[in-house]
Structure 1
Amino acid sequence: MLADQEGLPQFPYHPDPVATGSVVAAEVVCACCGQRRPFTYVGPVYAVEELRRRLCPWCIADGRAAAMFDAQFTDAHWRVPEEVPSDVMEVVLRRTPGFAGWQQERWLHHCADAAEFQGEVGAPELADFPDAVDHLRLEMAGSGWSAEDKDWYLQSLSKDGPVTAFLFRCRHCGTHLAYSDST
């Protein structure tokens, strides 16, 4: 994993933020610790002060950035199952690099825990994760779409296109989950 090789902090719910594009190899003088760092967080920041591209991953990991700026790195406007402990959500919201979605991003859960964010995927990548495709089909239940419409939609998913999916992996059982989003 590139993040490990570069000495970046470990994020249990976002294991490789460099691969997903939430952290980039670009020098920053961190607005939190004041140190010159070789990596910059480029994902969303929910705070009063504009902090995008001004924080290092180390200050996110240890919670200093969240504490100093009352910041969150994922918006909390999604339904969290009751069995997920509040301290888990605290780690996801305030000590884990977020990711940018087209609409409102969501963090998926499984086995009473938040899942690991794996990145954006399209139909070709999803072919390796039939459990994630099943999760997407379950998400579409009640949409009123025919089976043919659902198949067409799933085949139209593109990692870099206007209709994409966000892949997660359960930290406990390894099940892959996904949700889709569009511009």
Structure 2
Amino acid sequence: MLPTFKYHPNPIETGAIKESDAICECCSEGRGYIYTASIYSSEEVEAICPWCIADGSAAEKFDGSFSDDYPLIDDGIAPEIIDVVTKRTPGFSSWQQEVWLSCCNDACEFHGDASISDVKEMTLDVFQAAFEDRSLTVDFLSEFKRHYAPGGNPAIYKWICGQCGSVRYYADFT
């Protein structure tokens, strides 16, 4: 059974963890799963198992992190929460530097790419907030909804607040 990640509850669904017979470079074991996104480290690391992420040993061994702490620091999130997100939680692949969202003085849960139905239900305000651009128009949103595909460019990532349950989105593109 995979470890549980509070802030990334479905890492197999999001593609951050996949089945693999690779040997973890941290614990030297083959556990059947491997992390697929980046570890930010001065060392070149190819294979890390989810257990070494969950217990913090991979971040410690490689003096690395799995996501950027700046967005959470900027939002005033407590250092112990930032540590869990950046050093004990699988990150995710994005077009640019990933941005981990927060709400209610806590990091949000990452739920991967927004679904087509998520995007179809977006209001203009939600869409503008995701892109951090209040100049986007209803016409642009309508066109975007027609062509959006999960995993595409631009990407829209879905986040859920573990405190209040609100759903938030963040857009990323090349």
Normalised by the length of structure 2, the TM-score is 0.89
1:66 and 2:36 aligned: no
Structure 2 unaligned residues grouped into runs of 5+:
none
Match of 2:22 in 1: 28
Within 2, Cα distance between the matches of 1:86 and 1:34? 30
Contact 1:122 1:159 in 2 (8 A): yes
Match in the other structure for 2:11: 17
Instruction: Supply the distance in 2 between the matched residues of 1:36 and 1:139 (Cα, whole angstroms).
Output: 38
Provide the residue aligned with 2:161 in structure 1.
170
- Aligned residue for 2:71, secondary structure, equals coil
Contact 2:130/2:168 (8 A) holds in 1:
no
1:165 is aligned with what amino acid?
Answer: I
Partner of 1:115: 108
Please provide the CA RMSD for this pair.
Answer: 2.1
Query: What amino acid maps onto 1:48 in structure 2?
Result: S
CA deviation after TM superposition for structure 1 residue 101, in Å: 0.6
* Match runs of 1:1-183 below 5 Å: 7-52=1-46, 54-78=47-71, 80-82=74-76, 84-127=77-120, 130=122, 134-140=125-131, 142-183=133-174
| Secondary structure at 2:172 match in 1 | strand
Q: Percent identity?
A: 34
Following superposition, the deviation at residue 121 of structure 1 comes to: 1.9
Aligned-pair CA distance for 1:125: 3.5
d(CA) in 1 for partners of 2:18, 2:160: 22
SS at match of 1:149: helix
Structure 2 counterpart of 1:168, one-letter code:
W
Distance 2:107 2:118 in 1: 22
Deviation at residue 126 of structure 1 after TM alignment: 2.9
Q: Secondary structure at the match of 1:28?
A: coil
Q: After the TM superposition, which of the residue ranges 98-107 and 135-144 deviates more from structure 2?
A: 135-144
Query: Structure 1 residue runs of 4+, over 6 Å off?
Result: none
Counterparts of 1:90 and 1:8 in 2: how far apart (Å)?
20
Alpha-carbon distance in structure 2 between the residues aligned to 1:63 and 1:119? 22
SS of 2:127's partner is: helix
TM-score, normalised relative to structure 1: 0.85
Aligned partner letter, 2:30: R
What's the CA shift string for 1:6-61, capped at 9, x where partnerless?
Answer: x1000000001001000001112111111121000111110011113x11000000
**In 2: Cα distance, 1:142 partner to 1:39 partner:** 38
Assess, with a 3 A threshold, how the Cα gap between structure 1 residues 86 and 142 changes in structure 2: closer, same or farther: same
Deviations 1:62-105 (A, max 9, x none): 000111110100123436312x2111111111110000111121
CA distance in structure 2 between the aligned counterparts of 1:61 and 1:72, rounded to whole angstroms: 12
